[in-house]
Chains A and B, each alone.
Chain A
Amino acid sequence: MTTVERAVGGPAPVEVQRSFPPPWLRRGGSWLLNIYAVLGLVYLFIPIFVIVAFSFNAEETKFNFTWDGFTFDNWAHPFAEQGLVDAFVLSLEIAAIATAVAVVLGGLVALALTRYRFRGSALVNLFLVLPLTTPEIVLGASLASLFIAKTYPSPVPDSRGFLAILIAHVMFCVSFVALTVKARLRGFDWTLEDAAMDLGAGPVRTFTKVTLPLMLPGIMAAALLSFALSLDDFIITLFNSGDQTTFPIYIYGAAQRAIPPQIQVLSSMILIVSVGILATGTFVGRRRERAATS
């Protein structure tokens, strides 16, 4: 349907329809609002500039807070700090596994919530939101008291560690994945499944050939989100890490001891990779749109 509309309405039908904001606003003082919004974006990027700049800092003090001169040394040796590299690899591992599990569990929940009408779906919706509306510190403390419950209240020995972090990350990622995929599936035309069935496809084939491909954009978005959330999570992880050091926990420790500039270098790398993913996504989306219109 979108294809037909585009073909009829030209390349940008949305712009033609849109008479809001009204010409009055567009011509008049509206540039003030635009400038305000641009300033907001600049504000978002101020610390990012600082991070990238200080990755080139020839650090002389223990803390990377003052500018001591320009150098490429940090970028030439991004993996000089073994502890940092180990922590980073551990974070990537956890993020990858947690995302994989959360995408399956959360995707199924989203499918159930959008595909069927059933008793208790409102309750499930509310339940999904609860972990997101609970302060992280409460989630962290409660999970930690689960993992030390056997020996509670003695602090040793406990079962906090790699598996505990993984379980915690899957827990909050499931909610995010389910809600993201659900939002994408709203308004989905489920008769397409019936059509596939009518044409002789079995339930499995229908799922893999029709339902899954249509769910895929939502799943991809959810996977990216949950990977980023897992990679970035600090508070819940701190409570459940045991002897494990993830990337954020390493940085937390470094903030108290000494901050090697490699932290800024690795952060800049993450930034570059994510901008790359964003740019690719936009580019591919554009091309697909263009292909659909031509």
Chain B
Amino acid sequence: MAGAADTAPKRGRFAPYGLLSPGIIWLILFFLVPVAILLRASLSSQPERFVPDDLRFKWKWSNFSNALNRFGPQFQDAMRNALIAAVVVAVIIAAVVVLRRGLWHSTRARRLLIGALVAGFFGAYIITSTVDGWGDHFQRSFLYAGIATLLCIAIGYPLAYVIAFRGGAYKNLLLGLVVVPFFTTYLIRTIAWKTILFDNGPVVDILQSIGVLGDSGRLLATPGAVIGGLAYNFLPFMVLPIYVSLEKIDVNLVDAARDLYSSPARAFRKVVLPLSLPGIFAGTLLTFIPASGDFINAELLGSPTTSMIGNVVQNQFLVQLDYPTAAALSFVLMAIITIAVLIYAKALGTEDLTG
């Protein structure tokens, strides 16, 4: 095998930019520019009538506060909740760091923890200072998406672990089995869950007869159904990155830990888990972000009392045609997520983020 220096990428002056430009220009034109237009829309007033070629742009900062206030009557409660949540997260992280000094000694884990801490405080800062109100819908979005993400880790990590370390010759087949259900359309899968959880369906009947649900109890139209749907639909986005990071682990490291009289549990905690953290974080992003903006699960499996911020944006944009409000709401969602992502990316390095 050739030495590392020989296989290293070439230095390029113009060629790389030439190769990059078509794709990157496409992304600039159809990702960056639209987002800028959306930002502009979120700050403009809606004119009374249609005037061709005249956008009649007027600054209207109050779109943000109006939009948020309209959908956020419980501003005071929410602000308090957000602060409490941020403090709890910070305390838990601090406790983990103090108790698990081994984790602290790993540079990457340390960077991750600092990143998480900063993100938590920064998030709380945005929530409490710039945002005028914090809607029920925002709260529900992040709550449901958060719980769904945790469920995905709980189901996905062991699955990825077993495939990576015990899959043997069947590794690719097992990975394929994880992906295959997702070749059926997203909406169809969600409709299938609606069929399963249907009010007169066998699952509800059984749960009613053994007394878990009351006689008029339902599974559909509950937060549980929405969270379950989200967790199901984004599970492969958790399994695949975790699998990739577990697969990269050099088993000799585990053997070394075992040779040095580490118990299997300890070897897992000190070697495997820290090395798979990038996978967990990438999976968390790939699960949490789409889940927090999703409206299909809330629409098909939920009720108006479980509707999320995605439902509001969709309704405002496509039904009410109130673009400024829709734009302002999407921007708040995107701003919070982008800041968190940038901090995580800084802590992780983008290389790891993309697997």
Which residues of B in the span 152-206 have a Cβ within 8 Å of any Cβ on A? Answer: 155-156, 158-159, 161-163, 165-166, 168-169, 172-174, 176-189, 191-196, 198, 200-201
Say what secondary structure dominates the interface of chain A: helix
Given A37-B159, A108-B23, A146-B34, verify A20-B350 contact (CB < 8 Å). no
**9 smallest beta-carbon distances between A and B, as pairs:** A135-B293, A116-B12, A47-B192, A112-B19, A142-B34, A105-B23, A154-B50, A274-B183, A37-B162
Chain B nearest Cβ from A50, distance in angstroms: 4
Number of contacting residues on B, CB 8 A? 114
Q: How far, in whole Å, are A278 and B180 apart by their CA atoms in the complex?
A: 8
A235 in the interface (beta carbon within 8 A): yes
A56 in the interface (beta carbon within 8 A): no
29 A–B contacts, CB within 8 A, in A order? A19-B258, A33-B162, A37-B163, A40-B156, A44-B235, A47-B196, A64-B191, A65-B194, A66-B198, A108-B22, A108-B23, A112-B16, A113-B16, A115-B9, A134-B338, A142-B38, A144-B317, A170-B26, A171-B27, A179-B354, A182-B354, A188-B7, A190-B8, A231-B185, A234-B296, A235-B293, A252-B187, A255-B187, A267-B188
Q: How far, in whole Å, are A25 and B353 apart by their CA atoms in the complex?
A: 31
Cβ–Cβ contact B165 & A47, under 8 A: no
Which residues of A in the span 58-96 have a Cβ within 8 Å of any Cβ on B? Answer: 64-66
Q: How far, in whole Å, are A170 and B22 apart by their CA atoms in the complex?
A: 12
B contact residues vs A (CB 8 Å cutoff): 1-2, 6-13, 15-20, 22-24, 26-27, 30-31, 33-35, 37-38, 41, 44, 46-47, 50, 52-53, 55, 155-156, 158-159, 161-163, 165-166, 168-169, 172-174, 176-189, 191-196, 198, 200-201, 232, 235, 251, 254-255, 258, 264, 267, 285-286, 289-290, 292-296, 300, 310, 313-314, 317-318, 321, 323-324, 326-327, 330-331, 333-334, 337-338, 341, 345, 350-351, 353-355
Cβ–Cβ contact A109 & B334, under 8 A: no
Instruction: Flag A125-146 by CB within 8 Å of B: 1 or 0 each.
Output: 1111111111111110111111
Given A41-B177, A182-B354, A274-B183, verify A191-B162 contact (CB < 8 Å). no
Q: How far, in whole Å, are A51 and B59 apart by their CA atoms in the complex?
A: 50
Determine the chain A residues whose CB is within 8 A of the CB of B33 once the complex forms. Answer: 146
Say what secondary structure dominates the interface of chain B: helix
Cβ–Cβ contact B354 & A48, under 8 A: no
Given A118-B17, A138-B333, A271-B180, 15 new contacts (CB under 8 A): A17-B251, A18-B251, A22-B264, A40-B155, A45-B177, A47-B196, A128-B354, A135-B310, A135-B333, A143-B34, A149-B37, A178-B23, A191-B2, A239-B318, A268-B184
